[in-house]
């Protein structure tokens, strides 16, 4: 049995609640997961101070288990994102691109789409946060720069990570933006949802981990011959939807099943199990 902790939207800065962050770390320390996956939005305003705090916290999680982290839309610098994508050319354009991810790279990692294999599971992280860019254009003005997309090069990275992994390992993709419309927000996180889900499915992905919507949810979706499970982790911060609680998910996988247990924050009790779903794995129908 492999156990993964899936945590999202820490939002260091004003929304961060140290009581919940401490409780989460204590909880994970007790569980002893095989890996901790953090699906972006480490900061609220992408400041040096917030990144310093996020890095220290991630390092403390790293003492519990290997961790895999990707950026969210709050972790990129707006000025770089705008300059990069609104018509600058040549060197300036390149500089702007470097600026966009400069703080994430400085404090967290140079690798924006890292992957991690542990016994029983391979997780391919995909950066979907590109700011205002051609691939993320949307008719909804308020979604500009918030919505994400999956780049072709990253799909090839997922392919390489899966091909290099143990064939029996559960194939998992982690992105920041939710590909399923949020129940309360009514919003998709990705601009190229259909295309991305088909591509991931064709690579034999069994589970997609995401965040961004700040509401925990577990969905299944049928793409081609393969069932795809989508697990959205809520936020640990106080940027929660009305009537919802801070939450994270535990993923348990063995040769037969994939089980997702959401844990929600209850005042006075800490994080307690709130939803428990089990799905049969589809390893036999994996493409060759």
Q: Which of 4, 5, 7, 9 binds Fe ion (CB under 5 A)?
A: 9
Which residues have C-beta within 8 Å of that of residue 178, sequence separation ≥ 6?
188, 189, 190, 210, 211, 212, 213, 217, 230, 232
The Cα 276–Cα 109 span in angstroms is 33
Asked whether 99 and 79 are in contact (CB, 8 A), the reply is yes
Identify which range of 24-32, 36-44, 202-210, 220-228 contacts Fe ion by CB under 5 A.
36-44
Identify which range of 80-88, 90-98, 205-213, 271-279 contacts Fe ion by CB under 5 A.
205-213
- Residue (151 or 212) nearer to Fe ion, CB: 212
Which residues have C-beta within 8 Å of that of residue 255, sequence separation ≥ 6?
168, 281, 283
The Cα 105–Cα 47 span in angstroms is 13
Identify which range of 69-77, 85-93, 137-145, 243-251 contacts Fe ion by CB under 5 A.
69-77
Residues 209-248 that bind Fe ion (CB under 5 A): 212
By CB under 5 A, tell whether 50 contacts Fe ion. Answer: no
Residues 71-100 that bind Fe ion (CB under 5 A): 72-73
By CB under 5 A, tell whether 145 contacts Fe ion. Answer: no
- Residue (146 or 169) nearer to Fe ion, CB: 146
Nearest distance, CB of residue 100 and Fe ion, angstroms: 15
By CB under 5 A, tell whether 41 contacts Fe ion. Answer: yes
Interacting residues with Fe ion (CB under 5 A): 9, 41, 72-73, 212
């Amino acid at each position: 049995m492999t156990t993964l902790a899936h945590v999202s939207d820490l939002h260091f800065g004003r929304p961060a609640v140290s009581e919940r962050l401490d409780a989460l770390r204590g909880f994970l320390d007790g569980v002893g997961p095989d890996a901790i996956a953090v699906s972006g939005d480490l900061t609220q305003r992408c400041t040096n101070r917030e990144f310093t705090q996020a890095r220290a916290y991630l390092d403390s999680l790293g003492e519990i288990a290997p961790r895999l982290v990707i950026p969210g839309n709050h972790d990129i610098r707006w000025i770089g994102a705008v300059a990069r994508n609104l018509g600058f050319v040549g060197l300036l354009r390149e500089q702007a691109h470097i600026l966009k991810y400069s703080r994430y790279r400085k404090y967290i990692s140079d690798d924006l789409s890292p992957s991690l294999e542990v016994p029983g599971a391979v997780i391919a992280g995909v950066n979907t946060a590109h700011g205002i860019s051609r691939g993320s254009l949307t008719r909804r003005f308020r979604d500009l720069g918030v919505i994400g997309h999956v780049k072709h090069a990253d799909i090839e990275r997922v392919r390489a990570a899966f091909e290099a992994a143990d064939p029996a390992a559960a194939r998992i993709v982690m992105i920041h933006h939710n590909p399923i419309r949020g129940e309360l927000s009514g919003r998709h996180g990705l601009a190229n949802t259909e295309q991305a889900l088909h591509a991931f499915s064709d690579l034999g992905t069994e589970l997609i981990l995401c965040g961004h919507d700040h509401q925990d949810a577990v969905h299944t979706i049928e793409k081609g011959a393969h069932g795809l499970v989508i697990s959205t982790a809520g936020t640990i911060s106080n940027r929660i939807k009305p009537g919802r609680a801070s939450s994270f998910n535990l993923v348990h996988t063995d040769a037969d099943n994939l089980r997702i247990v959401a844990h929600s924050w209850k005042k006075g009790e800490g994080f307690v199990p709130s939803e428990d779903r089990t799905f049969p794995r589809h390893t036999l129908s994996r493409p060759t």
